Structure 1
Amino acid sequence: MRDYISAEWKKLNKMQLLIIGVFFVALSSFIGLATYFANQSVLIGGTQDKVMWGQLTFYYSQILYPPMLAIFIAISLIQEFERKNLEMLCSNAISIKKLLISKLVTVTVLVIPIQFLLLIVYIVALKVANVERSSYVLLTLKWTLLSILSSLSILCIQAFAYAKTRSFGQSIGISALGAMGGFVLLFLNENLNKFYPYSQCVIALRSRTLEDFSSSELVIFVFINILFSVCFYKLTCYELRKRE
């Protein structure tokens, strides 16, 4: 397994993905912080740190995060469909399961600094806004770590979408529709987002509730992400084998 991960890490255009990730964080930070500072004067004392976190992370996690992950995994997979590379790998007894795991692992590793960049932006923004840092920052650290877990289910779904369509544009379009679906659920029944895969980053970052997980909420969150990850990992493996 280590050899697979090492090979994928060397093949992956890491700088390209990091630049894309930084762009998404910068765009969402501009929108979120602009909204916060425009309304800062009317905020109730003692709530500024929570409101800032909500504004900073909501658009990123609900609208931009799924397409970003879709781009990441599509870039990782696209090389396997070029020049019948997948068929060549399979003819050399390469394990599809291990190949896919290695891609998911390497992409997830690149997601980590991007998620922590969002946290750094938050901490810097608190200082700029002269908002006193409290224990709430520690909660945001916990939620940032959980958001990395939430990325795995979306990555698996988008890996399947790309393997099924073999189209970069279509797979990104699916992620955008998925993200908008979560936005629609906010107006229909927000509780349904707990079970909706494209809203898992919103759940992880607590962008709407701004309060920590209860025990039951955390169990549901972990279960849903494991469920979607395992199901779509298996579906993607099946789809890739069909392409051999």
Structure 2
Amino acid sequence: MIQYIVAEWRKLHKVQLGLIGLLMLGISSVIGFGIYYMNRAVFIEDTQSIVMWGQLTFYYSQIFYPALLAIFVGLCFMPEFERTTLEMLQANHVSIKKLVVSKLLNLLLLLLPIQLLLVVFWLFALWLDQITVFSELVLHLKWIFLSLIGSLGILSLQAYLFVKTRNIAKSVAYAAMGAVGGFVLLFIGDRLPLFYPYSQPMIALRSRALVDFPRSELVLFVGINLLYCAVFYGLTVRELQKRP
């Protein structure tokens, strides 16, 4: 398995994907901070840090992040469909299951520093506002870790959509529609996003709740994401194995 991970890591366009991630994060951060500073005067004292976190992460996680994951998946899986790469891999008895797992793990590894930048941006903005919140840092790092778990379902779903369509534009469009659907669900009911795949990163980052997970909700969150991951991972492998 290690050999698969190393091989896929070498194939990954890390600089290109990293720049795309920074662009998405930068745009969403400008929007989030802009909304925060426009309304800062009405915030209750001692709530600025958590409100800023909510504004910073909400638009990123609910609107931009699903599209970012779709782009990452498309660029990661695309080389397998160039020329006869997939057929050659199958002819050489390369494990499709291990191939898909290694791609997903490498994407999570690449996403980690991008997600950590959320905390860096948040701390920098708080420093500019002369707000000290080191006591909250561990909690926010926990949410960053959980956001990677919340990414698994979307990564697996987008992997299946890309393998099915073999078209980045279509898979990104599906992700964009999924993100908009999650935004709409917020106006329908508070509990519906808990079960919606494209809302899982937002749930993980606590962008709306602004408080830590109750134990029951955390168990539900992990279970739902593992279920989505298992289902769409299986469908992705099955679709790849169907290719001649």
> What band does the TM-score fall into relative to the shorter chain?
over 0.9
Query: What is the rounded CA distance, in whole Å, between the counterparts of 1:2 and 1:219 in structure 2?
Result: 29
1:71 maps onto 2:65 in alignment: no
Deviation at 1:132, TM superposition (A): 2.6
Q: CA RMSD in A?
A: 0.8
Query: What is the rounded CA distance, in whole Å, between the counterparts of 2:59 and 2:37 in structure 1?
Result: 16
Query: What is the rounded CA distance, in whole Å, between the counterparts of 1:35 and 1:131 in structure 2?
Result: 18
Query: What is the rounded CA distance, in whole Å, between the counterparts of 2:238 and 2:133 in structure 1?
Result: 49
- Structure 2: runs of 5+ lacking an equivalent: none
Query: What is the rounded CA distance, in whole Å, between the counterparts of 1:136 and 1:38 in structure 2?
Result: 24
1:100 maps onto 2:104 in alignment: no
Deviation at 1:125, TM superposition (A): 0.7
The 5 A counterparts of 1:223-238 are: 223-238=223-238
Match of 2:170 in 1: 170
SS in structure 2 of the partner of residue 54 of structure 1 = helix
Query: What is the rounded CA distance, in whole Å, between the counterparts of 1:170 and 1:236 in structure 2?
Result: 16
Query: What is the rounded CA distance, in whole Å, between the counterparts of 2:188 and 2:39 in structure 1?
Result: 26
The 5 A counterparts of 1:49-128 are: 49-128=49-128
The AA in structure 2 aligned to 1:93 is: H
Query: What is the rounded CA distance, in whole Å, between the counterparts of 1:196 and 1:129 in structure 2?
Result: 35
Q: Deviations over 1:19-70 (max 9, x none)?
A: 1111111111100001111111121101101110000000000001111011
The AA in structure 2 aligned to 1:176 is: A
Match of 2:12 in 1: 12
Query: What is the rounded CA distance, in whole Å, between the counterparts of 2:132 and 2:96 in structure 1?
Result: 50
SS in structure 2 of the partner of residue 74 of structure 1 = helix
The 5 A counterparts of 1:136-215 are: 136-215=136-215
Deviation at 1:133, TM superposition (A): 1.5
Deviation at 1:134, TM superposition (A): 4.6
| Number of equivalenced pairs | 244
The AA in structure 1 aligned to 2:225 is: N
The AA in structure 2 aligned to 1:232 is: F
TM value normalised by structure 1: 0.98
Deviation at 1:189, TM superposition (A): 1.1
- Which stretches of structure 1, 4 residues or more, deviate above 2 A after TM superposition? 134-138
State the identity %. Answer: 52
SS in structure 2 of the partner of residue 207 of structure 1 = coil
Query: What is the rounded CA distance, in whole Å, between the counterparts of 1:133 and 1:5 in structure 2?
Result: 37
Query: What is the rounded CA distance, in whole Å, between the counterparts of 1:243 and 1:65 in structure 2?
Result: 30
TM value normalised by structure 2: 0.98
- Structure 1: runs of 5+ lacking an equivalent: none
Contact 1:24 1:64 in 2 (8 A): yes
Query: What is the rounded CA distance, in whole Å, between the counterparts of 2:217 and 2:114 in structure 1?
Result: 25
Query: What is the rounded CA distance, in whole Å, between the counterparts of 2:243 and 2:113 in structure 1?
Result: 33
Query: What is the rounded CA distance, in whole Å, between the counterparts of 1:134 and 1:112 in structure 2?
Result: 21
SS in structure 1 of the partner of residue 154 of structure 2 = helix
Contact 1:49 1:136 in 2 (8 A): no
